[in-house]
Amino acid sequence: MRSMSSVLNAMKPGWCSVLLPACVALLPFTPVSAAPPGEMPFGVYDPNGDFEADPEVAIEHLFLPWEDVFLPSLVDADLYAIERDRAVLATIEPWTWSRSERNSPDILRRNLLSGEYDQYMRGICAVLGTMDSSVTVRWAQEMDDYTSQFIWAGWKPDDYIAGYRRVVDICKAEAPNAKFMWSPLGYENLPEFYPGDDYVDLVGLSVFGLQAWEIQKFGKELSFVDILTPRYERAVQFGKPIVVAELGYVGNQAYVDKWESEVRQIYPQFPSLVGVVYFNQHEVYPWPDGFGLPDWRIGKRVTE
């Protein structure tokens, strides 16, 4: 078996920004038991390795921009997950992480629906299909948020659904054991983008708490339950298991402690909720109303 360092030496420059779990072994850190208390299955997107040695983590989250992925390194991500007895959640984003080289929404939509971009999904899923880890694929998340950075958000629902079905059909052929997560942010318009029961095994939602923004916007702090409740109620109609696929919270110590105590509890009003996955990284797209880039990392999220 190749060592992690031998693989990384062969990677493209800057590869640690693309397939982060494969790079953790090379980063200096002190492993900690960082998962919140509770019984809800817990996962993490963990580029800095804060959760590397945490036995509470059951899901390893990968973010894969499909134009940038160095496919052989997915093998090492698989080994990383297997050694820790974790399933893999692979979020595949249909763009490049190089902002200056990104397509426009129209070009992405046209080339996706015409089949010109089939190669990206086929290549990634061909490798996912060889993995020994349990794999769930999450493609083009938060399509219902028209204000986001994503070039696939704001499409006509029929176009998004056609694109989603196309890539899932491709991936099913290459990775027949994979599961598929359809993952809106959770807004009122989310039902318009539902691709159908045959294309969805789980529904993902995003839940982020930013204390300062909530106080300005709503005049009070919001809890995990406050934010999740309307999103869960919109998603539960599809009869699928629900996962908080992206979770983060930033505020003063009391605010963070409160969220920490809430996010892994079992709530009777959320019987379909089967897991939460923390986003242990700095925000990459500015929040509205001048609130900048919140830092969701566990060592940085307390603001005072």
And the tokens for 210?
């930013």
Give residue 31's pLDDT: 53
Report the alpha-carbon distance of residue 133 to residue 82 in Å, rounded: 6
**pLDDT the model gives residue 20:** 46
Return the pLDDT at 174: 98
pLDDT at position 7: 28
Residue-wise over 55-77: b if at least 16 C-beta within 10 A, else e?
ebbbbbbbbbbbbbbeeebbbbb
* 214 is annotated as an active-site residue: no
Active site residue 52: no
Distance in Å from the first CA to the final CA of the chain: 46
Catalytic pick from 52, 93, 246, 283?
Answer: 246
| Interatomic CA distance for residues 223 and 208, integer angstroms | 10
Inter-CA distances, 158 with 60, 143, 152, 194, 255, Å = 31, 12, 12, 10, 40
Catalytic residue among 93, 142, 262, 283: 142
DSSP β-bridge partners for residue 103: none
Mean pLDDT per 10-residue interval, the chain, length 304 residues: 29 38 46 85 95 97 95 95 98 91 93 97 98 98 93 96 98 98 98 98 98 98 98 98 98 98 98 98 93 96 93
Pick from 27, 70, 19: which is nearest to 52 by CA? 27
CB 200 within 8 A of CB 181: yes
Rounded Cα distance between 299 and 304, Å, is 12
Query: What is the structure's pLDDT at 13?
Result: 33
Angle between helices 73-83 and 118-128 (to 10 degrees): 40
Q: Where are the alpha helices (DSSP H) in the chain?
A: 4-9, 73-83, 105-114, 118-128, 157-174, 211-218, 224-235, 253-262
CA distance 138 to 277: 13
pTM: 0.90
Contacts of 132 (CB under 8 A, 6+ apart): 78, 82
CA Rg value for the chain: 19
Confidence at residue 148, expressed as pLDDT on a 0 to 100 scale: 81
Query: Which pLDDT does position 304 carry in this prediction?
Result: 81
**Which domains occur in the chain, in start order?**
4-290 (3.20.20.80)
